[in-house]
Amino acid sequence: MAEETNQEVVDDFSREQSSKETKEKRKGKAFPQSELPRVTLEDTIPIAQQIYENVANSSISFEELAKLLGTSVHTKSTKYGIWGSEAYGLLTKNEKGDYLLSETGRKIIVPTYDGEDLEAKIKAILTPTVLSKFYLEYNKHPIPQDNYFSNLLETKLGVPRDRIVEAKEIIIKNAEYTGILRKDSKLDKNIIDLDVATSLKVNNEKDDVKIQEIKEVEITSYSTNILESDEKTCFVICPIGEDSSLERKHSDLILKHLIQPVLDSFGYKVVRADKIEKSGLITQQIFDNLIKSQLCIADLSFNNPNVFYELGVRHMSQLPTVQIIRKGDKIPFDVSHGRTIVIDTSDVYTVFDRMESAKKELIEYVRAIVSNINNDISEDNPIRVYLPNIKVILPK
């Protein structure tokens, strides 16, 4: 039989999804694999390993990857494994539909510092929607008893009945593999603990002094307003603070060395509130940019209340947002579903290496958003996840 082409593989995936969705719609639910992979994270590691060892920074087609794995593109195990690798965020796709190793996958396969692989594994299992909802909801709580567990998955998380047993197995195995399932001595039960990766937690109050040693950067002003321009615009939500404050230095550093270079490469105009030069009420212009910019990047570092308020407004627009946060700052539960890039800025001698890694992650996120620009409602937006039927009409 002739080797299956990329398009045939895509069509095969679509037919399988369509068939499954037809059956599931009879039960009232349509359920894409991206929300719940059919394999565990551990099952996908060999796939990422093969790409790292044989493909490096290049891309590989579905059939080429299957051949590399020594399997057939027609087998379910191959399809579920590759699709699962994408669902966990270990692989990304380029504009041709070929696969590349993501920065998350790289961190797992070849970590550059102690604990980076564990952080990436936990991020991976929090990527599919159903897994993320469960682990975040049950963080610091025991795994529910079997009958309630099944009922929870079906009624609250929308898992089709014929996938309940599989879903429970994947949830528990992922928790064991990443170490987030631990014995609680007080309860004498196994509980979910997403903070296991913070044993190497940085003390930002002490380590922030080091970031101040970095030479202050100059940020140019941006006079473009999204409402008056056809240019693609990215609005940056961040803790600005007073001149020469730690918050301002942090935000300037992130803007110049992370956000600006990446967004420039995609042809986006970057706008930050304190750099808007157009006359008029600054608050009005902030709100206009929050609800009309094609892309938004929110820096959650320092747990600034204004940032979270503006992020909430952005979420209601249901437009794409990427989150950034310093390692060591806790991400609040309500926004923990979003795309979040964690950056360790605690050491002046490694901060630029960490920045390069963050750039790769941001490129992956922006590329995914740009390639889906005509359907740009983000599936990791909490409004979209928990209020899926809400309709928002943005002013022209």
Q: What would the DSSP string read from start to end of 90-141?
A: SEEE-TTS-EEE-HHHHHHHS-SSTTHHHHHHHHHHTSSHHHHHHHHHTBTS
Which residues pair with residue 93 across a beta bridge?
A: 99
301: three-class secondary structure by DSSP: helix
Instruction: Output the pLDDT for position 222.
Output: 34
Q: What is the mean pLDDT of the chain?
A: 84
Long-range contacts of 197-203 (CB under 8 A, 24+ apart): 197/115, 197/118, 197/119, 197/122, 198/328, 199/115, 200/114, 200/115, 201/327, 201/328, 202/326, 202/327, 202/328, 202/344, 202/346, 203/328, 203/346
Instruction: Output the pLDDT for position 396.
Output: 65
Q: Which two tokens stand for residue 68?
A: 């590399």
Burial 147-184 (b: 16+ CB within 10 A, else e): eebbebbbeebbbbeebbeebbebbebbbebbebbeee
The residue behind tokens 């797992």 is: 108
Weakest-pLDDT range from 32-36, 323-327, 330-334: 330-334
**Higher-scoring residue by pLDDT: 34, 208:** 34
| pTM metric for this prediction | 0.78
In degrees, to the nearest 5, what angle opens at C-alpha 261 toward C-alphas 351 and 228?
135
Per-residue pLDDT of 152-166, as tens digits, reads: 999 999 999 999 999
Domains 41-184 and 233-386 share a fold: no
Instruction: Output the pLDDT for position 280.
Output: 60
Q: Residue range 262-286: average pLDDT?
A: 86
242: three-class secondary structure by DSSP: coil
Sequence ranges of the domains in the chain: 41-184, 233-386
Classify domain 233-386 at the CATH topology level: Rossmann fold (3.40.50)
Instruction: Output the pLDDT for position 388.
Output: 77
**Nearest C-alpha neighbor of 143 from the set 185, 184, 177:** 184
Q: Which two tokens stand for residue 266?
A: 């995609």
**352, pLDDT greater than 60:** yes
Per DSSP bridges, beta strands 189-192 and 181-184 are antiparallel
Q: What is the DSSP string of 275-298?
A: GB-SSS-HHHHHHHHHHH-SEEEE
Per-residue pLDDT of 48-69, as tens digits, reads: 999 999 998 899 999 999 999 9
In degrees, to the nearest 5, what angle opens at C-alpha 358 toward C-alphas 354 and 364?
155
Which residues pair with residue 295 across a beta bridge?
A: 234
Classify domain 41-184 at the CATH topology level: Arc Repressor Mutant, subunit A (1.10.10)
